[in-house]
Amino acid sequence: MIEVNSLKKVFGDTTVLESIDFSVEKGEVVCLVGPSGSGKTTLLRCLNLLETPDGGTVTIGKKTMAFDGSGRVKKRDVNDMRTYTGMVFQGFHLFPHRTVMENIIEAPLTVQGRNRAELVREGEELLGKVGMLEHKDKYPDALSGGQQQRAAIARALMMQPEVMLFDEPTSALDPQTVGEVLRVMESLASEGLTMVIVTHEMNFARRVADKVLFMDGGYIVESGTPADVLENPKEARTREFLQLLEE
Amino acid sequence: MIEWFRDIQWEHLFDPELAWESLPFLMQGLQITMLIALAGMVFSLLLGLVLAMGRMSKYRLLRWPARMYISFMRGTPLLVFLFILYYGLPVIGVQFPSAIVAGIVGISMNFAAYSAEVIRSAIMSVPRGQWESAASLQMNYWQTMRRVIIPQATRIALPPTTNIFLDIVKGTSLVSVITVHELLYSSRLVAAQSWDAMTMYITAALIYWAVCVVISYFQERLEVRYSRYLSKR
């Protein structure tokens, strides 16, 4: 489903991603973990081209793109690539001037030109699934962080992506609403949705991930099953990081 | 000091009868004022939008002229610009069909510069995350602009845009100097005839004020409408 080869990303003089190789199979859940500044979020954003990589290739679904470091990409290619992915942001980024229902049907309506009544039906079903149906006519400002994030997940799902990208989806939440968002994500995983998740929730990664990538300093230091990486890390840096989290 | 105050002839401050009798004549002037003001609002907003887009463009060839234009218009008095249009241009053989047209053009071109800055800052104040989430949903630049950014920017731009509109209404009085028979011009005619400048200019001021009060009222209504998605705190 996803194939990344020798991916590179530079911001000015600093290299934030270097020779990144990994792949994600259909239906797999992959968690990216590591200290802040390690490049996890940048890697995720390279997958839907919110950042343009400076080298390497990325394949998602049937679309492959190679990057030559010029920073130039064709709009057409970017669009093709994005049809495969949906993204959930740390800060939700719902459209504040639209209700929950309007938020989730906005893109299918304007981008795909689909029928409104049909979308509303689909939307109600999806909102039911993430436990947001009763809030469908509220504006984001009237919702808690956890509710907003669940609505944002539904909004991304409405475009029927083959891969969902989560960028620290619970980091901006109050502790008491983290659980409701993780539960929604877990149920999506159990339905076989392919997901790539940047997270600091190690227990969630242990329980849900098929694969964990530990990143530090722009490299993938270690990867494997949660048991391998999180319980019996081989690399010293992974051990240090996990120890710090426990303290 | 006290003598100076005692000598003021309060009985000549305001002659309601004269004000009332000249009202129909002043209303004719007000029509021209409103024509120029409304046209000025519409055109300055449209031109302002174009200028704002130019100013934010990634192409220097669009950015620079927009920048220069805004700098020039904000840095020169409207009255001087009106003189250039109405008295200056005929020297090189360019003539407006009427002074009213020259006034509308001058006011629109001048206030467009202010409008451009308001629009630009409103658009820039919409958080970057809105662009990114729209992009991740495959919305393109114009879809994002139209459906996501502009509705939010409108709420932000509303109070400063109203300020510009109020300035436009008041700014129309300047075109009286280029022979347009608008409200101030009409008041001056009556003032000259009746030898009562005080009454006539106070009346004119009150009429301008009334127009501005109406505009402020609409702003408040619109502000409520555009803020309905925010919880009352």
Q: Does B130 touch chain A (CB under 8 A)?
A: yes
Residues of A in contact with B138 (CB under 8 A): 79, 82-83, 107, 111, 159
Residues of A in contact with B230 (CB under 8 A): 96, 139, 141
B155 and B125 Cβ atoms separated by less than 8 Å: no
Cβ distance of A110 and B148 shorter than 8 Å: no
Cβ distance of A50 and B135 shorter than 8 Å: yes
B102-124 average pLDDT score: 97
A37 and A238 Cβ atoms separated by less than 8 Å: no
Residue A2, strand partner residues: A24, A60
Distances (CA, A) of B84 to B32, B36, B75, B98, B116: 21, 18, 15, 15, 22
Structure tokens at A14: 């600093």
Phi and psi angles of residue A225, each rounded to the nearest 5 degrees, phi first: -70, 160
pLDDT of residue B232: 60
Give the β-pairing of A85-88 and A29-33. unpaired
User: Coil, helix or strand for A213?
Assistant: strand
A91 vs B130: CA distance, rounded Å: 10
Cβ distance of A142 and B231 shorter than 8 Å: yes
When CB atoms are compared, the residue of B133, B147, B230 closest to A89 is B133
Residues of B in contact with A48 (CB under 8 A): 136
Q: Which residues 147-186 of B have a C-beta within 8 angstroms of A? A: 147-148, 151-152, 155
B33-73 pLDDT, tens digit each: 999 999 999 999 999 999 999 999 999 999 999 999 999 99
Q: Give the burial class of A76: count Cβ atoms within 10 A of its Cβ; 0-12 exposed, 13-18 middle, 19 or more buried.
A: exposed
Q: Give the burial class of A217: count Cβ atoms within 10 A of its Cβ; 0-12 exposed, 13-18 middle, 19 or more buried.
A: middle
B134-190 pLDDT, tens digit each: 999 999 999 999 999 999 999 999 999 999 999 999 999 999 999 999 999 999 999
A165 vs A187: CA distance, rounded Å: 15
Q: Does B65 touch chain A (CB under 8 A)?
A: no
Mean pLDDT over each residue of chain A, to the nearest integer: 94
A232-247 residues labelled b (16+ CB within 10 A) or e (exposed): ebeeebbeebbeeeee
When CB atoms are compared, the residue of B132, B135, B229 closest to A97 is B229
Structure tokens at B196: 């009562």
Does residue B1 surpass a pLDDT of 90?
no
Residues of B in contact with A87 (CB under 8 A): 133, 136
Distances (CA, A) of B44 to A105, B36, B118: 35, 11, 12
A9-49 pLDDT, tens digit each: 999 889 999 999 999 999 999 999 999 889 999 999 999 99
A95 and B130 Cβ atoms separated by less than 8 Å: yes
pLDDT of residue B64: 96
Cβ distance of B139 and A86 shorter than 8 Å: no
Which of B125, B133, B152 to mutate: most A Cβ within 10 Å? B133
Residue A14, strand partner residues: A11
pLDDT of residue A245: 82
Amino acid at A231: E
The interface predicted TM-score (ipTM) is: 0.93
